[in-house]
């Protein structure tokens, strides 16, 4: 019985069982694609504009003890970073896998003169 049913199904053309499909409309498909792409690009531009204005999804804590004053890239993955911790300013050198204290600014003295003294003392030691 199964062989007879299999043989009948082989003889009957397959397109008799196929559902009718509407002809493909390229204009309609292209329009749907363009609208969807415009929506996605619009959402991306909205997030970009909000991030440039300072909107952050995860707000940073206010009133923390550590504050990054300024950061300057030095090329590669290295940077200089001026940080304030409990009222004291520190100049840090950031590398690929380490952080070094380059200078500690005293709050009482003029930072420029303190840095010059520190630089002179280190150059005298090396000479």
pLDDT tens-digit profile of 38-76?
Answer: 999 999 999 888 877 766 555 555 667 888 888 888 888
Q: Tell me what percent of the residues of the chain surpass a pLDDT of 70.
A: 74
For the record, the structure tokens of 77 come out as: 């993955």
Q: Per the confidence metrics, is the pTM higher than 0.75?
A: no
Comparing 48-52, 77-81, 123-127, the range with the smallest average pLDDT is 123-127
Give dist(CA 68, CA 60) in Å, integer. Answer: 12
8 Å CB contact between 70 and 79: no
8 Å CB contact between 83 and 66: yes
């Amino acid at each position: 019985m199964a062989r007879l049913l299999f043989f009948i199904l082989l003889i009957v053309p397959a397109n008799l069982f196929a559902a009718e499909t509407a002809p493909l409309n390229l204009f309609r498909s292209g329009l749907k694609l363009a609208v969807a792409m415009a929506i996605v690009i619009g959402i991306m531009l909205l997030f970009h504009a909000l991030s440039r204005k300072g909107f952050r999804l995860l707000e940073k804590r206010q009133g923390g003890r550590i504050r990054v004053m300024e950061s300057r890239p030095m090329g590669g993955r290295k940077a200089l970073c001026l940080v304030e911790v409990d009222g004291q300013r520190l100049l840090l050198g950031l590398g690929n896998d380490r952080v070094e204290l380059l200078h500690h600014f005293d709050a009482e003295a003029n930072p420029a003169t303190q840095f010059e003294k520190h630089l002179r003392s280190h150059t005298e030691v090396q000479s």
